[in-house]
Amino acid sequence: MAVTLREITRDNWRECVDIRVDASQTQFVASNMFSLAQSKYEPECIPLAIYDDEQMVGFVMYKSEDYGLAKTWFIERLLIGADHQKKGYGRAAMTALIERLRSQHGYNAILISFIPGNDIAQKLYSDLGFKDTGELEEGELVYRLALID
């Protein structure tokens, strides 16, 4: 497996729109069509395609948030295409994104949120070191990975 995160461009955005989760999971995540539209009009949102070698398998989107002095990353979206799930891509993509965000200075944490009941996401984020903040934002549980001790 060779997982990389790549920019969405003129050449791959249509393929990105075609990456979809299973019908039973659409409650957990917005479609890539929605996310790409959001990233155009909310340009602080940075969308990336998840590739295994040359095959697009999923999508992530993140943004920088400024709380006064402290800057924080927020992972706005994560999904792996229905046909590509349970192969380790979600974990590998999150690991790659965390590494990318860690390499930029001046940020104290990465936040991520998910709908209560999304046990797979909850377990994945906990395994990666995210902790429950106890906060709910727009009905979603907010988890936090500290970047500075």
Ligand X SMILES: CC(C)(COP(=O)(O)OP(=O)(O)OC[C@H]1O[C@@H](n2cnc3c(N)ncnc32)[C@H](O)[C@@H]1OP(=O)(O)O)[C@@H](O)C(=O)NCCC(=O)NCCS
Residues making contact with ligand X (CB under 6 A):
21, 25, 28-29, 78-80, 85-91, 114, 118, 120-121, 123-124
Residue among 63, 148, 68, 69 nearest 113 (CA): 63
Distance CA 89, CA 77 (A): 14
Minimal CB distance to ligand X: which residue?
A: 90
Q: Which residues pair with 67 in a beta bridge?
A: 70
Edge-to-edge, what's the strand order for the sheet holding 131-137? Answer: 3-7, 46-52, 55-67, 70-80, 107-114, 140-146, 131-137
Q: Cβ of residue 57: shortest distance to ligand X, in angstroms?
A: 8
Helix (H) or strand (E) holding 113: strand 107-114
Decide whether 139 or 149 has the Cβ nearer to ligand X.
Answer: 139
Nearest approach, Cβ of residue 80 and ligand X (Å): 4
Q: Which is nearer to ligand X, 106 or 132 (CB)?
A: 132
Nearer to ligand X, 29 or 45 (CB): 29
Token readout for 121 is: 């996401």
Return the CA Rg of the chain.
15
Minimal distance in Å, beta carbon 49 to ligand X?
14
Name the minimum Å distance from CB 26 to ligand X.
8
What is the distance of C-alpha 129 from the center of its chain?
Answer: 15
Rounded least distance, CB 89 to ligand X, Å = 4
**Nearer to ligand X among residue 24 and residue 149 (C-beta):** 24
Cα 82 to the chain's mean position, in Å? Answer: 16
Of 61 and 147, nearer to ligand X (C-beta) is 61
